[in-house]
Amino acid sequence: MTDIVRVRFAPSPTGFLHIGGARTALFNMLFARQHSGVFILRIEDTDTTRSTDEYIEAIIEGMKWLGLSWDEGPFRQTARFDIYRDYADRLVREGKAYYCYCSAEELEARRQEATAQGRPIMYDGRCRELREPVPGIAPAVRFRMPRDGSTVVNDMIKGVVEFDNDQLDDLIILRSDGTPTYNLTVVVDDVDMKITHVIRGDDHLNNTPKQIQLYKALGYEIPAFAHLPMILGADKARLSKRHGATSVTAYADMGYLPDALINYLVRLGWSYGDQEVFTREELIRYFSFEHVGKAAAVFNPEKLLWLNSQYIINSPAEDLAALVIPFLVRENIIGKDEAVDRAWLARAVVTLQERAKTLIELAASLRYYFHDPASYDEKAAAKFLNDKNLALLTELHESLSGLGDYSTAGIEAVFTALIEKHTIKLGAIAQPVRVALTGGTVSPGIYEVIEIIGREATLRRLGRAIDTIRGTNPA
RNA sequence: GGUCCCAUCGUCUAGCGGUCUAGGACGUGGCCCUCUCAAGGCUAAAACACGGGUUCGAUUCCCGUUGGGACCGCCA
């Protein structure tokens, strides 16, 4: 019971769920599932000026879309302010924290000065030994950091990291308005929620010794830590908006599959030999911090795109058919509430799934299955819809209208007969037909296209192409 | 500026002292397949940052240099 794994993902709702956060959440979840532990979602919204309910919703939505399911929560820290205050009071009472009357402006000025003079940027501790309160000023509460010795972080990824205590700042744990700050809440909650493993980005590594001192001051056991390397943009700077899409929902909108994103994210920093593609079950089974790298990783959209195409290829067509419908609406291929024959759509998807890298591409390429070409690609029409092919198209129109077995096999037989009769190559007839049916020169196999479009539409489109040729070249 | 982390092909990575003339994947080039486009198959170019040690032997261990990154907030 005491050693059941309990982990948490603790985003602050000051933005959407982004790529880095999603990966942190993922590693937490994998670790929890692997150990049959508990995965907790905790919203760190103590910065009330920047946190919004909309972002909380967006984060939850992003996690759900990715299939990152938590067992407890979401807990909100704003609902727990009393608890943090009690802990802060206790620390003050025990002399482990003290009131600081320096104003934010003064502090900022001192920081500026320190920067200008090239001095270490740290609180100078001037309120540390203050005996009497300063009247008329609401104080903040600072943690009294030990000045001697060192603090060791034993990290599951980085190994043993040692910090000299005199480098640790006396951090503010309670603002002058009485609200708690991150370093206090994170420790109090991790203790309170019995977190056994703190898995987070390595941007927190430098905070860890301070938090460890807080654990010690409070008299609590220190959890295990795992600091994941950062995700970088192409310029090696920390991934941010200016590198393009970074929010999880943006990828949903761009037609990515959640499993593809998960697979990409997990391989950013973690590996299992040479394997690139994993099922969720494999991820849970194979995941290990031993194979999480220490170095930051550059986010590579091309590889994600490739993975997405792999997941599209390997998804059941029925699933893709359901997923692509919103995108068909968005591409104005179908109406918002238009009924679609799912079975037929699935058959159309089968022909396209190895050709589309995203659901958007899939939707767009589905267009000619729904609609007659609005126009012909100019070059394609010039090359293929001409007198030379008029007889061929006319003949095909005839054969197809009289065809008894309107199936891929039956259609193929028609083409075979045609090319044998005229001793031509298949391409000589397939390309003109492709232009007639789709308006362009690119499509799946021509028999499949003819079969899925259906006899009626096929004949109509062939007829229209024939008319076009006759119209362009009046005999 | 201080502290901390990191360093294998352009990118993600395998490698946990000899198996490395360094493997896989994305991307890129070529070839094959072929009704177009894909998918698929084959193939090519492409990396151990540098300098010292340790060792019979370093990509692998240690130190330094260089280069990246993170943190240093009454943000998280």
- Gap between the Cα atoms of A376 and A386, Å rounded: 13
Residue A336 belongs to a domain: yes
Task: Give nearest nucleotide to A117 (CA–C1').
Answer: B1
Answer with the one of A337, A370, A403 that is the final residue of a domain. Answer: A370
The CATH number of residue A391's host domain is 1.10.10.350
Residue of least CA–C1' distance to B73: A108
Please report the pLDDT score of residue A2 as a whole number.
56
Q: Which residue has the tokens 């009485």?
A: A178
In a domain, A362, yes or no: yes
Please give the Cα distance from A128 to A169 (Å, whole number): 12
Q: Which residue is nearest to nucleotide B24 (CA to C1')?
A: A274
Are A361 and A408 members of one domain? no
Q: Are A407 and A468 in the same domain?
A: yes
Q: One digit per residue, pLDDT tens: chain A, 475 residues?
A: 457 999 999 999 999 999 999 999 999 999 999 999 999 999 999 999 999 999 999 999 999 999 999 999 899 999 999 999 999 999 999 999 999 999 999 999 999 999 998 888 999 999 999 888 899 999 999 999 999 999 999 999 999 999 999 999 999 999 999 999 999 999 999 999 999 999 999 999 999 999 999 999 999 999 999 999 999 999 998 888 888 889 999 999 999 999 999 999 999 999 999 999 999 999 999 999 999 999 999 999 999 999 999 999 999 999 999 999 999 999 999 999 999 999 999 999 999 999 999 999 999 999 999 999 999 999 999 999 999 999 999 999 999 999 888 999 999 999 999 999 999 999 999 999 999 999 999 999 999 999 999 999 999 999 999 999 988 654 4
- What local confidence, expressed as pLDDT, does residue A474 receive? 46
> In three state form, how does the secondary structure of chain A look?
CCCCCEEEECCCCCCCCEHHHHHHHHHHHHHHHHCCCEEEEEECCCCCCCCCHHHHHHHHHHHHHHCCCCCEEEEEHHHHHHHHHHHHHHHHHCCCEEEECCCHHHHHHHHHHHHHCCCCCCCCCCCCCCCCCCCCCCCEEEECCCCCCEEEEEECCCEEEEEEHHHCCCCEEECCCCCECHHHHHHHHHHHCCCCEEEEEHHHHHHHHHHHHHHHHHCCCCCEEEEECCEECCCCCECCHHHCCCEHHHHHHCCCCHHHHHHHHHHCCECECCECCCCHHHHHHHCCHHHECCCCEECCHHHHHHHHHHHHHHCCHHHHHHHHHHHHHHCCCCCCCCCCCHHHHHHHHHHHCCCCCCHHHHHHHCHHHHCCCCCCCHHHHHHHCCHHHHHHHHHHHHHHHCCCCCCHHHHHHHHHHHHHHHCCCHHHHHHHHHHHHHCCCCCCCHHHHHHHHCHHHHHHHHHHHHHHHHHHCCC
CATH number at residue A365: 1.10.8
Are the C-beta atoms of A249 and A58 separated by less than 8 Å?
A: yes
CA at A36, C1' at B31: how many angstroms apart? 50
Q: Is the CB of residue A238 less than 8 Å from the CB of residue A230?
A: yes
User: Domain for residue A3, yes or no?
Assistant: no
Identify whether A435 is part of a domain: yes
Tell whether A466 and A398 lie within a shared domain.
yes
The b-or-e profile of A379-396 (16+ CB within 10 A means b, else e) is ebbeebbeeebbebbbbb
Phi-psi group of A219: left, alpha or beta (phi > 0 → left; psi -120 to 50 → alpha; rest → beta):
left
Which ipTM value was assigned to this complex?
A: 0.96
Q: Tokens at residue A334, please? A: 């179908």
Within this chain, do residues A387 and A366 fall inside the same structural domain, yes or no?
A: no
Choice among A158, A216, A236, A241 that is catalytic: A241
Q: How far is the CA of A98 from the C1' of B74 (A)?
A: 14
User: Domain for residue A445, yes or no?
Assistant: yes
Find which nucleotide's C1' atom is closest to A43's CA.
B76
Strand B nucleotides, any atom under 7 Å to a protein CB: 1-8, 10-16, 23-27, 34-40, 68-76
Active site residue A241: yes
**The pLDDT of residue A243:** 87
Q: Using CA atoms, how far apart are residues A341 and A168, in angstroms rounded to an integer?
A: 65
Distance from CA(A270) to C1'(B19), angstroms, rounded: 24
Q: Residue closest to B34, CA→C1'?
A: A427
Range of the domain at A383: 378-472
Residue nearest to nucleotide B27 (CA to C1'): A302
Which of A331, A346, A370 is the last residue in one of the domains? A370
Nearest nucleotide, CA A351 to C1'? B38
For residues A450 and A415, state if they share a domain: yes
**pLDDT score, position A380:** 94
Q: Does residue A257 form part of some domain?
A: no
Q: How far is the CA of A111 from the C1' of B32 (A)?
A: 66
The reply to whether A391 and A360 lie within a common domain is no
Statement to judge: residues A393 and A433 lie in one domain: yes
pTM: 0.95
How many domains is chain A partitioned into structurally? Answer: 2
User: Is A436 part of a structural domain of the chain?
Assistant: yes
Would residue A127 count as lying in a domain? no
Q: Which nucleotide is nearest to A356 (CA to C1')?
A: B38
Distance A137 CA to B68 C1' (A): 44
